[in-house]
Amino acid sequence: MRTDHGKHWSEQEMIYALSTLKQFLEYLQQRSAFEAPHQPIGKLIWPDDVGRKANYYNGETVKYIPESVLQQIDQQIHLFPAEHLPVFILLRASGWRISDVLNLRCDTCLEHSPSGWWLCGDIRKTNVLNHRVPISNEIAALVTTQQKYVEEHIPPERNPRKYLFPAQKEDRTGLAQSADDFRYVLTSFSKKAELTDDAGKPFRLKAHAFRHTKAVELINNGMSLFYVQKWMAHLSPHMTMVYAKLLDPTMRRAWEEAFAKGAVRIDPAGVPKSVDPEQLVKEQEIEWEHIRHNLDAVRLPNGYCFKPKKANCPTQETPCYTCHHFCTTPDFLPNLSGKNARCVS
């Protein structure tokens, strides 16, 4: 590329310039500056524009917190500054980026349903609005306490956007707490608690490591990659598969095989067809809350029926396999052989 002044820019120079511009625009949006673009930065500057490499997400870039370090944190948590502890706990419980945790709003960040409590907020990097993840009663109580603190101690004019974690400094009036300030707190805590890795070397906590740690924790606890992808608000399953590489080889193969199988439906001709998990997300036919509330009541010998409990279906025990509420997996296919797979309703 050549500029108006006749200078030829190399590809590397262009990537650096666009990357710097992207960081500057993100800074303006984070500070809610008047000059900040109204559109998400991801829609203005695409990843490919700044030279994003296809193999960027690999096992070497996943910097999760080892179990031994987590144990040290639990033992030394009393050394963590009390005013920053709620952010720390939410960061660890949610697996969200620090910028998204600090962007939580008092009036919209907490929801309750028959299945439990949910943390709600916007994932700005991938533009996933009103994203929800389940949280425990204890975490919900912490959020409620923080909401009351903000209501009682922070005047509305100092927090017009109703941040859950409003900045306390005068020069940041009206803004959320600074992510850089929290990163500094993490570094100071790491040194004060004398955290060390398995090799005995000093371990420095980084905010984004909690996100990687949560993804690994979900996988190790048996959550499918499909739901881990939804929890982490990843745009593609390839990003989620990175975390499976951290498991031992046997477990990793099991996860990859399970992910490759996907879900299966029976088409009107009685032929089993695989279903793309991303398609299921778009159709919103499999929702976490719905599954948690209904799955045990509608599990069948040959698959799953996702109909609501209140729906009266006389054929549920012998389901119509073409019904959009019915879904099965390859493990059930031997039970389906010789059966009529056509819908008779």
In the block, which residue shows the tokens 């960081």?
A: 23
pTM: 0.59
With H, G, I as helix, E, B as strand and everything else as coil, classify residue 273.
strand
173 Cβ neighbours under 8 A, 6+ residues apart: 158, 167
Report the distance separating Cα 167 and Cα 184, nearest Å.
Answer: 15
With H, G, I as helix, E, B as strand and everything else as coil, classify residue 174.
coil
Q: Which residues of the chain have pLDDT under 70?
A: 1-8, 47-62, 244-299, 304, 306-312, 314-345
Report the distance separating Cα 36 and Cα 21, nearest Å.
Answer: 12
| C-alpha dihedral (246, 249, 254, 256), degrees to nearest 10 | 60
CB-CB contact of 228 with 219 (8 Å): yes
Report the distance separating Cα 74 and Cα 104, nearest Å.
Answer: 25
Q: Give the amino acid at 122.
A: D
Report the distance separating Cα 151 and Cα 141, nearest Å.
Answer: 15
CB-CB contact of 151 with 73 (8 Å): no
Does the CA dihedral 186-192-193-197 come out positive or negative? positive
Residue 307's CB is within 10 A of a number of other CB atoms, namely: 18
Backbone φ and ψ of 312, nearest 5° = -90, 110
Backbone φ and ψ of 249, nearest 5° = -55, -40
CB-CB contact of 217 with 189 (8 Å): no
Question: What is the predicted pLDDT for the residue at 308?
Answer: 58
Question: What is the predicted pLDDT for the residue at 154?
Answer: 93
Report the distance separating Cα 104 and Cα 109, nearest Å.
Answer: 6
254 φψ region: left (φ > 0), alpha (ψ -120 to 50), beta (else): alpha
Angle of helix 249-261 relative to helix 225-232, nearest 10 degrees? 90
Question: What is the predicted pLDDT for the residue at 45?
Answer: 78
Does the CA dihedral 236-240-244-246 come out positive or negative? positive
Exposure string for 144-162, b = 16+ CB within 10 A, e = fewer: eebbeebeeebeeebbeeb
Report in angstroms the alpha-carbon separations of 235 from 25, 204, 238: 22, 29, 9
Report the distance separating Cα 53 and Cα 126, nearest Å.
Answer: 17
How long is the chain? 345
Report the distance separating Cα 323 and Cα 317, nearest Å.
Answer: 13
DSSP characters over 46-76: -GGGGT--TT-SSGGG--PPPHHHHHHHHHH
Report the distance separating Cα 243 and Cα 223, nearest Å.
Answer: 12
